[in-house]
C-alpha cells in the first residue's frame, strides 16, 4: 500500500495498488454509469472529468451512460430519441435509453436502473470491444450488479472495479425510505456486488472503513479516491461584482444559498423553516435555493408567500460560480439520521468559492467531519431552524471570522481535494486493474 500526498505534504489518498513502472501503457477503459454530462451536478461531474482526464492522457476511453435527467428528473429534450453514439473530448460516449420516473420512488428508480443495466449489457455485447478495465459507477447499484454479473460469466474478461459514490445499504437505513426486510435485501445485494468485483474505490476513508469492517471487503482491494474540486481555481470576482452580475445587488441583508439537488436526504424543509424563523425574529436574510429535484415542487408550495425564499433553476458554470461567490453563506442540510451514506458533492465547489459554509448535519456524520477538518464554517444540528439563522447571522456579521473560514476551506481544497492528486490515484487504481489477470485475482480470493 502507498500514500499519495500533495506537494505541501498535507492531505493524502490511500492507494492500495502498486503503480506500474516504466512508460505508461495505453489502456482501453470502459466506464458504465447512469450519470454523465451535460448533467451539471452530482456524480456526472466526476465520471465525466475522470473519463476525459484519462482520454487526455492517451487512453482509449468509452462511457456507456444514460440520458441526461438529473437533478430535474425528466429527460433533456435533445436526447429523447433512441440510442446515441458520439465522441466528446476524446471519449466515446454511448447513451442507452431508459425510463425516467416523474416520481423517483425506490421502486421506480429500481426499474430505471434495471432497464439501464440490461441495455448497457446489450450495448457492450454489440460493440464487441476488448477492454483492459471496466469501471462501474454506483449509484446505480442494480445496473452495476447486472453489468458485473455479465462480465463474470465471460471466460476471458477484463478486471472490473466498482467506484462507490453512495452506499445504498446505509441510505436504506438512514433515510428510512424502505422497510426492514427491503433494507436487508439492499444490504445483501450491495455486499454481493462489493465482493464480486476485483477492486473497490470509495470517496472517503469513512466509506472505506465501513466496507472493510461492516461488509468484509479486504483492505487490499479498496482504494480511497476523494471527490475533487472541479470549479475555477480561485474566486474570479468580488462578492459585490458577483451579486451585480446576477441582479442580487438590489437585495438587502444577508444572502444564504443552497445549491444542488432538492431531494429527501437534503432535508430542505429545515431551510424553509429557517426562513420562517428569520421572519419571526426580524433577521434580514434571503434564502436562495438553486437547483432541481423531486422535492422542489413540494418545497415551493411550502414556501408560497414567503418573500425571503427564492427558488432558482440550475445555472450554467459562470452564473453558478457567481452565485456561490455572491452569497454571504452557503448552506448544507441533511436529515438527522444521515451518518455514513454519502458526502455531498457540492462541498468541493463550496470550499473553492471563497464563501463560508453553514452545515445543518449530525455531529457524527461524514459531512460534520469534513466541516471540522476543513474549518470551512459552522455546523449546527439538523431540524434546528433558529440555530441555522443564528449561524448565518454570525458569519454575515463577523466578516473577519467568515474570511478565515473561507480561506481555510480553500486551503483544504489545495491540500486534500485537488484534482491532480485525485486523478493520479484514479489512474494508478485503473492501471492496477488493467494490469492484472482477472481470473487469477478471482481464484486468489
Q: Is the distance from CB of 371 to CB of 379 less than 8 angstroms?
A: yes
pLDDT at position 14 is 39
Output the pLDDT for position 438: 46
d(CA 149, CA 146): 5
Per-residue pLDDT, 106: 77
Q: How deeply is 7 buried, as exposed, middle or buried, from its count of CB atoms within 10 A (0-12, 13-18, 19+)?
A: exposed
> CATH number for the 2-228+418-444 domain, one of 3.40.190.10, 3.40.50.2000, 2.40.160.20, 3.40.50.300?
3.40.50.2000
pLDDT of residue 213 exceeding 50, the answer is yes
Same fold for the pair 2-228+418-444 and 239-416: yes
Task: Kindly report the average pLDDT of the chain as a whole number.
Answer: 87
What pLDDT shows up at residue 155? Answer: 81
351-387: pLDDT as tens digits: 999 999 999 999 999 999 999 999 999 999 998 999 9
Instruction: Supply the pLDDT for residue 127.
Output: 85
* Residue 7 predicted with pLDDT over 90: no
Q: Please give the pLDDT value at position 5.
A: 33
Q: Residues 110-119: what's their mean pLDDT?
A: 96
**Mean pLDDT on 47-65:** 96
Q: What is the pLDDT of residue 226?
A: 93
User: Percentage of residues in the chain with pLDDT exceeding 90?
Assistant: 64
Higher per-residue pLDDT: 353 or 183:
353
| Pairing outcome for strands 222-224 and 199-202 | parallel
Are the C-beta atoms of residues 327 and 235 closer than 8 Å to each other? no
Helix axes 180-196, 141-152, angle to 10 degrees: 40
Give the pLDDT band of residue 10 (cuts 50, 70, 90).
very low
Residue 384, helix vs strand vs coil: coil
H-helix or E-strand spanning residue 390: helix 385-397
pLDDT tops 90 at residue 21: no
- Res 68: pLDDT: 92
> Percentage of residues in the chain with pLDDT exceeding 70?
87
Of 78-87, 131-140, 203-212, 386-395, the least confident:
78-87
CA angle in degrees (0–180, nearest 5) for 86-89-90: 75
pLDDT of residue 350: 94
Is residue 331 within 8 A of residue 229, CB to CB? The reply is no
Checking if the pLDDT of 305 tops 70, the result is yes
Of the two residues 252 and 19, the one the predictor is more confident about is 252
| CA–CA dist 437, 416 (Å, integer) | 32
**Rounded average pLDDT over 144-158:** 93
Average pLDDT over residues 197-208: 92
Mean of pLDDT values over 127-147: 94
Give the pLDDT of residue 96.
93
Which tens digits make up the pLDDT trace of 390-416?
A: 999 999 999 999 999 999 999 999 999
For the segment 215-238, the average pLDDT, to the nearest whole number, is 85
Domain regions of the chain by residue span: 2-228+418-444, 239-416
Top pLDDT among 17 and 266 is at 266
Measured CA to CA, the distance from residue 362 to residue 158 in angstroms comes to 41
- Under CATH, which number does the domain 239-416 receive? 3.40.50.2000
Q: Would you list the DSSP string of 233-281?
A: SS--S-HHHHHHHHTGGG--SEEEEEES--STTTTTHHHHHHHHHHHHH
Amino acid at each position: 500500500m502507498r500514500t499519495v500526498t500533495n506537494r505541501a505534504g498535507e492531505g493524502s489518498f490511500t492507494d492500495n495498488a502498486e503503480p506500474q513502472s516504466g512508460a505508461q501503457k495505453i489502456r482501453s477503459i470502459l466506464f458504465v454509469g447512469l450519470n454523465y454530462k451535460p448533467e451539471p451536478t452530482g456524480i456526472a461531474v466526476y465520471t465525466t472529468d475522470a473519463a476525459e482526464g484519462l482520454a487526455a492522457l492517451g487512453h482509449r476511453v468509452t462511457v456507456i451512460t444514460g440520458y441526461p435527467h438529473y437533478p430535474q428528473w425528466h429527460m433533456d429534450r435533445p436526447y429523447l430519441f433512441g440510442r446515441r453514439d458520439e465522441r466528446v473530448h476524446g471519449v466515446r460516449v454511448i447513451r442507452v435509453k431508459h425510463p425516467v420516473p416523474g416520481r423517483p420512488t425506490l421502486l421506480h428508480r429500481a426499474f430505471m436502473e434495471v432497464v439501464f443495466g440490461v441495455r448497457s449489457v446489450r450495448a457492450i455485447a454489440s460493440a464487441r470491444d476488448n477492454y483492459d478495465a471496466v469501471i462501474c459507477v454506483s449509484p446505480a447499484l442494480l445496473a452495476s450488479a447486472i453489468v458485473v454479473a455479465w462480465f463474470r460469466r465471460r471466460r476471458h474478461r477484463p478486471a472490473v472495479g466498482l467506484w462507490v459514490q453512495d452506499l445504498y445499504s446505509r441510505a436504506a437505513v438512514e433515510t428510512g425510505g424502505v422497510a426492514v426486510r427491503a433494507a436487508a435485501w439492499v444490504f445483501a445485494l450491495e455486499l454481493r456486488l462489493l465482493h464480486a468485483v476485483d477492486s473497490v474505490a470509495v470517496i472517503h476513508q469513512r466509506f472505506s472503513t465501513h466496507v472493510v469492517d461492516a461488509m468484509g471487503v479486504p483492505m487490499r482491494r479498496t482504494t480511497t479516491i476523494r471527490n475533487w474540486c472541479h470549479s475555477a481555481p480561485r474566486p474570479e470576482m468580488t462578492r459585490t461584482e458577483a451579486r451585480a452580475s446576477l441582479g442580487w445587488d438590489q437585495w438587502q441583508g444577508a444572502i444564504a444559498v443552497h445549491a444542488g439537488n432538492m431531494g429527501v436526504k437534503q432535508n430542505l424543509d429545515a431551510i424553509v423553516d429557517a426562513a420562517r424563523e428569520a421572519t419571526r425574529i426580524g433577521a434580514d436574510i434571503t434564502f436562495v435555493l438553486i437547483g432541481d429535484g423531486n422535492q422542489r415542487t413540494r418545497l415551493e408550495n411550502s414556501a408560497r408567500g414567503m418573500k425571503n425564499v427564492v427558488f432558482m433553476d440550475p445555472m450554467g458554470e459562470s452564473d453558478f460560480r457567481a452565485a456561490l461567490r455572491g452569497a454571504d453563506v452557503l448552506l448544507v442540510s441533511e436529515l438527522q439520521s444521515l451518518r455514513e451514506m454519502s458526502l455531498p458533492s457540492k462541498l468541493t465547489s463550496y470550499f473553492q468559492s471563497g464563501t463560508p459554509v453553514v452545515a445543518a448535519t449530525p455531529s457524527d456524520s461524514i459531512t460534520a467531519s469534513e466541516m471540522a477538518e476543513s474549518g470551512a464554517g459552522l455546523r449546527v444540528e439538523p431540524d434546528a431552524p433558529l440555530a441555522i439563522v443564528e449561524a448565518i447571522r454570525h458569519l454575515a456579521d463577523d466578516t473577519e471570522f467568515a474570511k478565515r473560514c473561507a480561506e481555510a476551506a480553500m486551503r483544504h481544497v489545495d491540500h486534500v481535494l485537488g484534482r491532480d492528486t485525485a486523478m493520479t490515484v484514479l489512474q494508478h487504481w485503473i492501471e492496477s486493474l488493467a494490469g492484472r489477470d482477472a481470473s487469477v485475482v478471482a481464484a486468489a480470493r
